Amino acid sequence: MTLFLPMDDYQKFSDSLPLQWLWYYEYHSPYEVHSHAVKDIIVRAKSKYQQIDVIDTFNSGKVLILNSEPQSAQVDEYIYHESLVHPAMIACKSPNNVLIIGGGEGATLREVVKYKTVKKIVMVDIDEELHKIAKEYLKEWHQNSFEDNRVILIFDDIKNYINKALENNEKFDVIISDLNEPTGSTPAFKVYTPEFIEKILKVSSDNLVMVLQASDLKDILFWEHRQDKEYPIIFEHFELFSKYFNDILLYHAFIPSFFSDWAFLLLSKSNILFNINTIDNIIQERISGELKFYDSETHQLLFSLPKFIRSTLNKFLSKNKIKIK
């Protein structure tokens, strides 16, 4: 992805200037690019771990970009974050202790602190500089959730924290992984390993529900069409996590600013059961405040997968002899 700037002083641009002066190019693949006209560059910084940019766009408002990859946009970040958090929190019988992995901008945390049942929230992010930038410039995201007295913020590699949690015999009911794409250019690279998952299970309660973002759902479509040798990230996750969890549910939400149908994986030690007739009541009982996106009707949309996705996934699982317990 490229931020195209024909000048070096990053001055503010007004609506009267030609839009071609400043564009952000988002590459979905080597074969597809989307471009966003930019009003202003709010922050350009480089931490120890990644390039951090916050820009202001005409259509999507402020956008957080890490290593040239968009993370969330002001106009619709609630769609992504409510989809990530609430199915897991509703599926868990007693969501008292919650671990958030990543989530530096604070919007995942914002959704978790809405739960009256939660007693402790540990948020672990490797990049403290990202947290400082988000706290100052992304207030619409975190809405001061960092100040909740149930929240413990830790800036460290999640692997280091899990080792300490094991020593302290900590147990979590819900684990929410809001890491960016696990590629070689991100801090999330090689986090999801058998050794790490085995440790995750040791710091979880018997009621554990875990959720993670799983990349773009359309990767499955393009992968099948191109007959690529490398599997989509979603399939790699299924192959790995199926060895450790009894139930895995794939679900999705369309994120307009991403122009993508984003995938999520819901994982549990036991069968994941939802009762559509009780979801709204559980939300009302457990949550303080209103949700903008998630409810029982939206839940049915999230967990309704297109036929071609179900078919392609089942072929992959069958070919690789992967069984979802």
Nearest to 264 by CA among 112, 79, 109: 79
**178 a catalytic residue:** yes
Question: Buried (b) or exposed (e) across 300-309, using 16+ Cβ within 10 A?
Answer: eebbebeeeb
If phi over 0 gives left and psi between -120 and 50 gives alpha, with beta otherwise, what is residue 215?
A: left
CB–CB of 260/27 below 8 Å?
A: no
Closest CA to 266 of 95, 91, 79, 108: 91
Rounded-to-integer distance, Cα 116 and Cα 285, Å: 8
Measuring CA to CA, which residue among 146, 90, 27, 2 is closest to residue 280? 90
DSSP per-residue string spanning 35-79: EEEEEEEEEEEE-SS-EEEEEEETTTEEEEEETTEEEEETTTHHH
Give the amino acid at 161: Y
| Pairwise CA distance, residues 210 & 307, whole Å | 25
Q: Which pairing describes strands 260-268 and 247-255: parallel, antiparallel, or unpaired?
A: antiparallel
Can you list the positions of beta strands (E) in 171-271?
172-178, 204-216, 247-255, 260-268
Contacts of 9 (CB under 8 A, 6+ apart): none
Among residues 178, 219, 280, 295, the one annotated as catalytic is 178
Q: Which residues are catalytic?
A: 178
